C-alpha cells in the first residue's frame, strides 16, 4: 500500500478529495489507476474508497504552487467515473474550484490577507484563470457566514469566483462547430441544439423539443429519457470534435454536458418550495456523467450565462434579460450569476459559492505507487 495525505472539502454543491501535486505518482501514466484506487472505482457504491457513489462526490483536485506570473496556484480537476475504469481530465468543475482558494490558504501555498484574500487559480484542464475572493479572519479562512446556496444545508462565508475569458475552455472555440444552432439527427428526429464552450462545453436543447416541460426533478427521468440524453450528448461530442459518437460515453463522458432549458414557469423545486416564473430568467436541467445533476454545475451556470449573451443561440432567443444578473432555476432552487459587460460583450462572469474543510488525514491505496514525496 501507499499512504497519501489528503484533504476532503466541500466546494459549492460538490465534494472532492484534494491532493498536493507532490503526492501524485511520478509516472503520469499511473495517475488514472492511482485516482481510481483512492476513490474505490469502478464500483457503484465506491465502497472500497473515498468516493461518495455520486458524480458530484467522485471528484479530485490536484494542487500545486504555480510557476506562472498570472497565477498563485495550479489546479488540475479529475472527474472519477463510478462505473468505469476511467478518469476524465477534459473539463473543470466550478463547484470544486470554489474550495481551491481556501485549500491554498490553509495549506500555506497562498499567504492570507485580511479581510479578503484574492487567489488566482490556473486551471490546467481548461488553461484558464479563475479568481477566488476568500474571506479571512485572524489569519485563517473564515467559514461561518450568512451566505446560503441551494443544495447545501446551512450557511457559510461567501466565496466569489470570477471567470474571465472563459471562451473555448476545452475545444478552443466559443462555438465549437462554428454555428450558434446545429441540427442534430437523433432517434426521435431532427432537433435544434446550441453547443457552447465557456468554462466547460455544454449542449443545450429545448425541453419541449424532446417531450419535456423543463421542470422535471432528477428522480423523474425514465431510463429511456436518460438514454436519449446521452445519445444527444454523444452526437454533440462528435460535432465538437471531442470524440466519435459511438465512443463519446467512454472517451469523453463529462463533456459536453447535456443541458435542457425552458422558459420561466411556475413550479415546485426539489425542496418542495413553490417558484414563480417571475423569480427566474430560464429553467435549466443538466446531466453529469450520464446522470441528472442534483443542482447545477458552476461551469454550467457560467456557460449558460455566456450562451444567453451569444447572438443566435437557443438561449439568446429564449431569455429576455433585464440588467446584468441572470437567474437560473435548477432542481434545488435558483442560482444567480453577475455579468461584467464591456462594449456590450461579456468580459467576465461572477458567481458566489461557499466551501468547507471536512477532513484531513491519510488514504491508503490498495497498490504501491512511486510518488514525488511519499509520506
Strands 282-288 and 325-330: parallel
What pLDDT is recorded for position 373? 59
Q: How confident is the model at residue 307 (pLDDT cuts 50, 70, 90)?
A: very high
Q: Domains of the chain: which residue ranges?
A: 1-165+354-363, 180-345
Same fold across 1-165+354-363 and 180-345 = yes
Q: What is the pLDDT of residues 312-325, one digit of tens each?
A: 999 999 998 877 89
pLDDT band at 349 (very low <50, low <70, confident <90, very high): very high
- Predicted pLDDT at 374: 44
Question: Cα–chain-centroid distance for residue 278?
Answer: 27
The whole-number pLDDT of residue 256 equals: 97
Summarize pLDDT for 30-81 with one digit per residue, the tens.
999 999 999 999 999 999 999 999 999 999 999 999 999 999 999 999 999 9
CATH class held by domain 180-345: alpha beta
pLDDT digits (tens, 9 = 90+) for 233-286: 999 999 999 999 999 999 999 999 999 999 999 999 999 999 999 999 999 999
Q: What is the pLDDT of residues 90-124, one digit of tens each?
A: 999 999 999 999 999 999 999 999 999 999 999 99
Res 297 pLDDT > 60 = yes
Predicted pLDDT at 344 = 74
pLDDT at position 375 is 41
What's the topology of domain 1-165+354-363? Diaminopimelate Epimerase; Chain A, domain 1 (3.10.310)
Which residues have a Cβ under 8 Å from the Cβ of 353 and sit 6 or more positions away? 11, 12, 94, 95, 98, 149, 158, 159, 161, 298
- Calpha distance 112→89 (Å, rounded): 30
Confidence at residue 345, expressed as pLDDT on a 0 to 100 scale: 78
Looking at every residue in the chain, the average pLDDT score rounds to: 95
In this prediction, residue 370 carries a pLDDT of: 87
CA-CA distances (angstroms) from residue 298 to 68, 95, 140, 221, 335? 25, 6, 25, 22, 9
pTM of the model as a whole: 0.87
Amino acid at each position: 500500500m501507499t499512504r497519501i495525505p489528503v484533504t476532503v472539502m466541500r466546494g459549492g454543491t460538490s465534494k472532492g478529495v484534494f491532493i498536493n501535486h507532490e503526492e501524485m505518482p511520478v509516472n503520469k501514466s499511473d495517475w488514472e489507476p492511482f485516482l481510481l484506487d483512492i476513490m474505490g472505482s469502478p464500483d457503484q457504491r465506491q465502497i472500497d474508497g473515498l468516493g461518495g457513489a455520486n458524480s458530484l462526490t467522485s471528484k479530485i483536485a490536484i494542487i500545486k504552487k504555480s510557476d506562472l506570473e498570472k497565477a498563485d496556484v495550479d489546479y488540475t480537476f479529475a472527474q472519477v467515473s463510478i462505473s468505469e475504469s476511467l478518469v476524465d481530465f477534459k473539463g473543470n468543475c466550478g463547484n470544486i474550484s470554489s474550495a481551491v482558494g481556501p485549500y491554498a490558504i490553509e495549506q500555506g501555498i497562498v499567504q492570507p490577507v485580511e479581510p479578503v484574500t484574492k487567489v488566482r487559480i490556473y486551471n490546467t484542464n481548461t488553461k484558464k484563470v479563475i479568481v477566488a475572493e476568500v474571506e479571512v479572519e485572524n489569519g485563517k479562512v473564515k467559514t461561518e457566514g450568512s451566505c446560503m446556496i441551494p443544495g447545501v444545508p446551512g450557511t457559510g462565508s461567501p466565496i466569489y469566483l470570477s471567470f474571465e475569458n472563459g471562451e473555448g475552455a476545452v475545444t478552443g472555440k466559443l462555438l465549437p462547430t462554428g454555428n450558434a444552432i446545429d441540427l442534430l439527427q437523433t432517434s426521435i428526429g431532427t432537433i435544434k441544439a446550441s453547443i457552447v464552450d465557456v468554462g466547460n462545453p455544454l449542449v443545450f436543447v429545448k425541453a419541449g423539443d424532446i417531450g419535456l416541460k423543463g421542470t422535471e426533478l432528477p428522480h423523474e427521468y425514465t431510463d429511456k429519457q436518460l438514454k436519449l440524453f446521452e445519445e444527444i450528448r454523444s452526437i454533440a461530442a462528435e460535432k465538437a470534435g471531442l470524440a466519435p459518437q459511438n465512443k463519446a460515453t467512454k472517451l469523453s463522458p463529462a463533456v459536453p454536458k447535456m443541458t435542457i432549458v425552458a422558459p420561466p414557469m411556475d413550479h415546485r423545486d426539489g425542496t418542495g418550495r413553490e417558484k414563480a416564473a417571475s423569480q427566474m430568467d430560464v429553467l435549466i436541467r443538466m446531466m453529469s456523467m450520464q446522470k441528472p445533476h442534483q443542482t447545477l454545475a458552476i461551469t454550467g451556470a457560467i456557460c449558460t450565462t455566456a450562451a444567453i449573451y451569444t447572438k443566435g443561440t437557443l438561449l439568446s432567443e429564449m431569455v429576455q434579460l433585464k440588467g446584468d444578473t441572470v437567474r437560473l432555476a435548477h432542481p434545488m432552487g435558483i442560482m444567480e450569476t453577475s455579468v461584467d459587460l464591456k462594449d456590450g460583450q461579456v468580459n467576465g462572469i461572477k458567481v458566489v459559492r461557499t466551501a468547507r474543510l471536512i477532513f484531513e488525514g491519510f488514504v491508503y491505496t490498495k497498490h504501491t505507487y512511486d510518488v514525488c514525496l511519499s509520506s
